[in-house]
Structure 1
Amino acid sequence: MKREGKDVISLSAGEPDFPTPRNIKDEAIKAIENDFTHYTPESGITELKEAIAEKFEKEWGIKYNVNEVIISNGAKHVIFNALFALCDEGDEVLVITPAWVSYIEQIKLAGGKPVIVETKEDNDFIPDPKEVERKISPKTKAIILNSPHNPTGAVYPKDVLIKIAETATSKGVFIISDEIYDKLSYDEECVPLVHLIPEAKENILIVNGASKAYAMTGWRMGWGLGPANLIKAMGIIQGHMTSNPCSISQKAALEAVRGPQDEVTEMAREFKERRELICSLLEKAPYMTFRKPKGAFYLFPNITKALGKSFKGEVIEDDITLARKLLEEKLVAIVPGKAFLAPGYIRISYAASRKDIEEASKRIIEFLEELV
């Protein structure tokens, strides 16, 4: 629709709208000019692994050696490698829903079976450790945790994370902790899982990367910190799948990790202000309720009160219909909750300019007000 010249505002993106910081781009240019454009070790260059491990130890007091760090083509690739390394055919992996769209499909591709642990809106989409324990079976190989959370914006309380980690570890269930939004926690500092329960270090893979914190989604730079035997297996899988991560992107990521962090702080501050803006605007919307997100850059409204209503004669049967009609009629793009195993919800990204947030919110309210 944008190619047709229509004034579409997209609040569907799962990426920062800021440019990659200048110092990071300059290092990529230097890498090209210095002909750092060939293969690297399959699991990433040692210099970047050392930088990631050093930064983690400095910030959180947990030491990782270079053989406990892998560099991959985005955090998604880290999770993919881990699931392939961990899962045998028929192994179960616990997934907390709502859930990011790729978890389920990656588990299936690895031959595993996703087992759903549902959360509830009235509990701020926080998982119940007792429910997690109930879902663990002799076939359970791993659990995926994601905090700050996509799509709900939830940040799991420390005591909940500790209880889940203790239960998983005691039952031999490995933990994949997706912490890609860790720099985007607005009301309290986001703490890595391994810092909360360091005695479980050998049972945890920390997944992170450059995409969200440094506005580097297209550079495809993710990393994992975990037990050496798992990291080695992941490296072998990666070597046969994609070979090494991009050499140029690795040099850029090295600058991101070791260079100034001012812009990371500034982007987080701006996202927090945009959160306040979009919440203040959409709290006036009919047929929509939401919890104020505590992290990431998503609003996850409940739109079940709009279901069964009609827009210009078409019944809004589900969140998919609502998202489609909103795009067709008001030129606002959002993501239906069904994509995250959460029918009856929609995901709205505030990784957009304030101007776009204001105009899109106006259009969303107009759309909902026109339902009959």
Structure 2
Amino acid sequence: MRIPSNGIETLGELAEIFNLPVDLISDSNRDEFIQGAVPRGTINIPGYTLLPGRHINWESVKIAIGQQLDALKTNSSIGRFLQEREFIPWKITSPCILGRMAYSSVILERDLEILKEAYPFITLTEIGKSVLGNPIKEVKIGRGKKKLHFNASFHANEWITSGILMDLMNAYLLALTNNYLICGIGAMSVYNTVELSVVPMVNPDGVNLVLEGPMKSQENRLMNINHDNRDFSGWKANINGVDLNNQFPANWEIEKKRKEPKSPAPRDYPGNRPLSEPEALAMAKLVENGNFDMVFAFHTQGEEFYWGYNGKEPEESLKIASILSSCSGYKAVRTIDSHAGFKDWFIQEYNRPGFTIELGKGINPLPLSQFDKIYDNVRGLFFSALTL
């Protein structure tokens, strides 16, 4: 929420009134600070929203945010603002978004804006565009030196991974503004130790195709690739018919030679060259610039994860894999006969831990009836990764 800042001398005053860490208020207004001074006019308060409150009284405000409000009451600017508009500042204590739905790129864009409004300390960046011009967004949370990256929906019919990852991110944001513990560690300690990077949907065009069918302008071409089948539920590729997780320069030539599709296909076609597709190229550039210590790619299905590649993974990967397995119940698999994946390339190029997490079990696309079970399993994995 935004409230008047007149009469507020320090961020510490606001932190005390709203029971929030100073760092979150500071980062929520990072673009408006001038040499650390409280910005004049209005200021963002993260983790709160303004609700209509007819016949507002200070006792109702006190109940709403659970604080003694003497300082707020005596601040004439804020007091007048609330009373004139009959608004109550309300602490957000439950998720702002719901990932348990057919999660298209339109829903993702809406939910990212909702989270940015509620938690303005996050940063949203467009790291590239898909073939059809849909934005590929990265979310960053935290100010730590340790850099972790999570992504989802490399494959179109694995769209459930985007909703899962968004819900996990929302849970982390709630923990930060409500002073919760994460794996026994204060959430703000994690925030100041870790910079979290999240790309919730690598393949927006493909996801939209699976969920909504082809656009008129693309219908003839896509029907041809899909063997004249109007059912696109089995489509894994991007809109060009290229499998984005077979696009990375980690023995790409092996996959190119042995993959059955030799031209655009609903799945498994690795393209004519590595990183030929804008979505894969955007992810490669993100990694090259991001200096990530670890990466995690959410896929479906199998209730297992892969943590090695050609013996190039660091020694610490085995220990991390054991921790992630114990907190998720997922089987840790060192390696499989596969190349050219995002995780493979990261391990090969940077000799750092990388993980492909296969959520759930069944036939893709997994049904939403599995959502809660998947979320419960990977919640521990996600938060454990943040506290490693």
Give the shorter-chain TM-score range.
Answer: under 0.3
Give TM-score, length-normalised by structure 1. Answer: 0.22
Which structure has the higher relative contact order (CA within 8 Å, separation 6+)? 1
TM-score, normalised via structure 2 length: 0.22
